[in-house]
């Protein structure tokens, strides 16, 4: 299958490109230099020239806090850019996968959010990603929206790499213990996308690693697994704290847990438990030490 990936230089994009190529697909990897998604004519030109059967739209404005003061910037990328990709995809008859986020919900509910729950984003990032979802649904006839959460991967910066670094540098770390979610390894998302694009089971999917934890519990697991798998001495003592003690410009959802209703009802294999994903991530890091703190 001929697959075009936007945001191919990003954390998720790099794993998507790698895994789809390993699965035997022909991949056109487009980072921001090859494809500026905010330019409608360039989107049409690049996508028309390559005529992909599938477009995996990973490119996004993901700076959650910066978005609060850069409203136009967030919407230009996440809404206008997504509209441009959607129009170009429809013009060539390509399936479109749009990568979205748990931030489209308000995060105040007690239960995990399933695909058909009402959205209610609280911050600019979530609102702009939800705008992208609406545009995909409005402009495409063959679409998948894949929401994920708490993403970490080998490429680029993320929470796991930050905690590994701070765990060796700081005597004590305070970590939020009143936000819960499902940490998700990018390689596991990419694996699911390979299965998804082979079908015509269009719609909204929640794809995160199974199981739940708080950021504090996640950090505990990171330290434990790093010592076992990487043999790294971790000196930092962990102390739980509240969201109020760690204020940020953008509101953080207290509950980011996504229920995988569509995965079950459409007969797909679910993603592994987050702890298994974390272990695999650390094993993969062990074989690519140049990416440890990159």
Long-range contacts (CB closer than 8 Å, 24 or more residues apart) made by 261-266: 261/114, 261/115, 261/116, 261/206, 262/114, 262/115, 262/203, 262/204, 262/205, 262/206, 263/192, 263/205, 263/206, 263/207, 266/199, 266/201, 266/203, 266/205
User: Residue 256's closest CA among 283, 274, 238?
Assistant: 274
Taken in order 149, 153, 156, 162, is the CA torsion positive or negative? positive
Can you tell me the mean pLDDT for 277-290? 88
Residue-wise pLDDT tens digits, 125-172: 999 999 999 999 999 999 999 999 999 999 988 999 999 989 888 889
Residue-wise pLDDT tens digits, 180-226: 999 999 999 999 999 999 999 999 999 999 999 999 999 999 999 99
pLDDT-based confidence at 294, cuts 50/70/90? very low
The answer to whether 125 is a known catalytic residue is yes
Return the bridge partners of 210, or none.
Answer: 273
Q: Is 237 helix (H, G, I), strand (E, B) or coil?
A: strand
CA separation for the pair 109, 126 (Å, rounded): 16
Instruction: Return the domain boundaries, the chain.
Output: 2-158+182-210+257-273
Of the candidates 125, 185, 202, 216, the residue annotated as catalytic is: 125
CA separation for the pair 27, 142 (Å, rounded): 19
Backbone angles phi, psi at 280, to 5 degrees: -65, -40
pTM: 0.95
Q: Is 45 helix (H, G, I), strand (E, B) or coil?
A: helix
Q: Is 273 helix (H, G, I), strand (E, B) or coil?
A: strand
Average pLDDT for the chain: 95
Q: Which CATH number fits domain 2-158+182-210+257-273: 3.40.630.10, 3.40.50.720, 3.40.50.2300, 3.30.70.890?
A: 3.40.50.720
DSSP 61: -
So what's the pLDDT on residue 292?
59
Q: DSSP strand E in the chain: where?
A: 2-6, 26-30, 54-57, 95-101, 143-148, 151-152, 172-176, 180-181, 184-185, 203-206, 213-214, 237-241
């Amino acid at each position: 299958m001929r697959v075009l990936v936007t945001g191919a230089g990003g954390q998720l994009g790099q794993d998507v490109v790698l895994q789809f190529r390993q699965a035997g697909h022909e991949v056109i990897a487009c980072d921001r230099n090859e494809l500026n998604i905010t330019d409608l004519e360039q989107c049409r030109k690049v996508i028309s020239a390559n005529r992909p059967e599938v477009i995996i739209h990973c490119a996004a404005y993901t700076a959650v806090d910066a978005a609060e003061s850069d409203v136009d910037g967030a919407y230009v990328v996440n809404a206008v850019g997504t509209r441009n990709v959607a129009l170009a995809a429809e013009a060539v008859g390509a399936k479109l996968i749009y990568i979205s986020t748990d931030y489209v919900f308000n995060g105040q509910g007690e239960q995990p959010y399933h695909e058909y729950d009402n959205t209610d984003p609280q911050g600019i990032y979530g609102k702009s990603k939800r705008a992208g979802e609406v545009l995909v649904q409005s402009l495409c006839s063959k679409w998948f929206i894949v929401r994920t959460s708490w993403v970490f991967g080998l490429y680029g910066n993320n929470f796991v790499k930050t905690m590994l670094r701070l765990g060796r540098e700081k005597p004590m770390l305070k970590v939020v213990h009143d936000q819960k979610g499902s940490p998700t390894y990018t390689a596991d998302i990419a694996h699911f996308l390979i299965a998804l694009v082979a079908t015509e089971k269009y719609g909204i999917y929640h794809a995160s690693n199974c199981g739940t934890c708080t950021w504090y519990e996640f950090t505990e697991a990171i330290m434990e697994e790093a010592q076992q798998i990487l043999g790294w001495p971790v000196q930092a003592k962990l102390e739980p704290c509240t969201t109020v003690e760690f204020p940020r410009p953008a509101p953080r959802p207290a509950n980011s847990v996504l229920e995988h209703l569509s995965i079950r009802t459409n007969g797909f294999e679910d993603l592994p438990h987050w702890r298994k994903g974390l272990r695999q991530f650390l094993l993969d890091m062990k074989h690519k030490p140049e990416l440890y703190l990159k």
